[in-house]
Chain A
Amino acid sequence: EDKVVQSPLSLVVHEGDTVTLNCSYEVTNFRSLLWYKQEKKAPTFLFMLTSSGIEKKSGRLSSILDKKELSSILNITATQTGDSAIYLCAVVSLGAGNKLTFGGGTRVLVKP
């Protein structure tokens, strides 16, 4: 059974801090790993990672995949209160209709 584990479960930081979120996975036939941000409703897509060691960056957010360690990290620098959300990691496995297996999420609270 495919498994995705995220850590920490939750964290509280102050504006300007840097945050690192972790995602580890055990899946058969790995295809890609995705990060989503969920505020109140729909998860919004952040990154898709398929190749090891190549950093993807969007503004203050960045992410990298390590296929050897079966893990990924999501970094948020210079955090703002608008970064408060649940961050979800999901893995796509081949041969399963593009099915995503989600981790439990990391809840981030950024205080002013």
Chain B
Amino acid sequence: DGGITQSPKYLFRKEGQNVTLSCEQNLNHDAMYWYRQDPGQGLRLIYYSQIVNDFQKGDIAEGYSVSREKKESFPLTVTSAQKNPTAFYLCASSIGVAALSNQPQHFGDGTRLSIL
């Protein structure tokens, strides 16, 4: 079945540590996105990528980094510079760029990150 797979489901970070969240999709979607969700809040965009080897900062990119070396993969690294990383992280993908596509984003099941 086609879909978006995020791993791990739960992740704990120690002080000063970088951690990487995985996101893989087999939907052949061009665009991929990372969101952060805090309790009682909506989703906020961290980074997005419209095509392989290209990505753009979202609204809250500080303390995060991404790469897009393959179409199906868009890993997110939460660096030690992110001082408040505890949140629910959601990865999404969509068929294409806004000008050519009016298709919804589809989401993975998320990774819950906590501080040790």
Contacts and interface: CB of A to CB of B under 8 A. Distances in A.
15 contacts: A31-B98, A36-B107, A44-B107, A48-B104, A90-B42, A92-B98, A93-B98, A94-B98, A96-B98, A97-B48, A97-B56, A97-B98, A99-B45, A99-B48, A105-B41
A34 B98 CA distance: 14
B81 to A, nearest CB: 23
B110 interface: yes
Given A42-B107, A104-B40, A105-B42, A97 B97 contact: yes
A50 B102 contact: yes
Chain A binding surface, main DSSP class: strand
Contacts, number: 71
Give the contact-size bracket for chain B: 20 to 34
A40 to B, nearest CB: 9
Given A98-B101, A99-B45, A104-B41, A45 B96 contact: no
B99 interface: yes
Interface residues of A, number: 29
A62 interface: no
Interface string A69-107: 000000000000000000010101111111111111100
Contact of A4 (B31, B42, B109): B42
The 5 closest A-B pairs by CB, nearest first: A102-B42, A42-B107, A98-B98, A41-B109, A102-B43
B63 to A, nearest CB: 19
A92 B45 CA distance: 12
A7 interface: no
A63 to B, nearest CB: 13
